[in-house]
Structure 1
Amino acid sequence: MRQKRAKAYRKLMSLYSMSFGFRQPYQVLVDSEMCKASIAQKLELNKQLGIVLQGSVKPMVTQCCIHELYLQGKDQQPAVDLAKTFERRKCNHREAIPGDDCLASVVGETNKHRYVIATQSQELRTKLRAIPAVPIVHINRSVMILEPPSKATLEAKESVEEKALHPSAPEIASLPSTVPDEPLKKKGPKGPNPLSVKKKKAKPPSAPKESKSEQHKNQIGEKRKRTDGDLAEQSRSPEESSGHKRKRRRKAHASSGGADDAGDHST
């Protein structure tokens, strides 16, 4: 597959996935004509469907389509064997009906089960283009092609987007109220953690400052105390201060005795 075509198919399948809820593995309803064409063109149907739809696939077939292949004779036995390898989709038809009518009834008016239709029937493709969100796959000259979205599909996509942008009054009423009971606090710089902040210690009351005159009086009082102490030392008796004098006399006596001894030795 060419790169441009693969990119277009990937984009188209993403549209079906985002707008209509298609999910992998994609459920692909295959009709009898597609089984016959894949055998005639020698195509691996499972592999080609996975390449075109850009993902994993689950091929399915209805009992009416298999019965239609049986009615065409033994020449279509390879197509019958191929159809039997697919998963059976119950169509709830007690008597077999044509394959086109069977697939149209299974898809319904809204394709609520998200089926991808792989068919070679031109009448069925024309009928399915009127139904929104129905991807259609067919084979053209041994090349499998995914058809572009139909007009009904594009209109349904726009309506879905419009509902998402502008919800109705009942939908708005069903939504939970987003208004808080309490007014929101304004964001701003937060203060420090009160538990981590130390309390300020109370300073002791400071003593009143003294005036210059009082400071001068205190200095005079200190001088007077010093002079009184000096007078008290001078008024002491010689006996009280004899301890110091005796030490001095002894030193002097020792010095004089040493001098006398030196004189005796010289004589």
Structure 2
Amino acid sequence: MKNKIIHTKKDLLLGRGRDEIAGGFEKIQQLCVSRRNFMQGAGVLLGGAVLSGLIGGTAEALADEAVETGKFVFPRLQFTVTDNTPDRWDVHPKGDIILRRKLRELTNINVSMEPKVVRLEDFDDMVRNPFVFMTSEGNFKLPENEEKNVREFLERGGFIMADDCVYNGKEDRFFKAYVSLINKLFPDNPMRKIPYDHEIFHIYYDFANGCPHMQGVPNGAYGLFEPGTGRIMTWCSPGDIHCGWVNAWWSPEKNMEAMKMGVNIIIYFLSH
């Protein structure tokens, strides 16, 4: 019971919906899901229908009993970086810490505050963490085994949130490299700009003009859309919202917009 939290009917009386009450999926780590049965096991814990299954029953039923949930884990993805730039895959971990704290403050999501690194080269490590955050400021070219892991991870229901750390405050090297990678792996379904009316921009906070832009090239956020369902499988933003989480270089209001966008992305993942 060490890592469990009990949510009571007070949550519902405060108007918190099931998607907000449901914690994340640290339980996936406990399942020790193998490469072969990732979707069979992880699929039980991912998606909107899964949230209601995880916490059980309807809103009316929830009001009558306590709800036990796991924790949402926000890991950083370690990957091969070939460009000789100072800010690589592990840049500014403080931003991750602050976002976790804000996620806990601004929502009722039960989030783990523990830092975690997931290695792209180790697929068994990845499948225990269906949501990963990836960033850098430079170009990168993955070795074949890491490319294969990206494709398989996304096809099995994993979600990669990618954000460009922006080289020299004005370029989009990482953004271009990531979009190029995904388009190579999914040649018949390339990434495309996410329209401003998409629910990821309105699921919790409203962003009428799409993803907040801190610095760099204003390409807009891109997504890989799952054929048939339209679900966003991976997100890539060019404007350094991660550095907004660090809360050091722009106004508090602008930094808060970056944090709120991070919250939206996580809630979108948890509910799809």
Give 1 or 2 for the bigger CA radius of gyration: 1
Higher helix share: 1
> TM over 0.5, yes or no?
no
Bigger relative contact order (CA 8 A; separation at least 6): 2
TM-score in terms of structure 1 length:
0.25
TM-score in terms of structure 2 length:
0.25
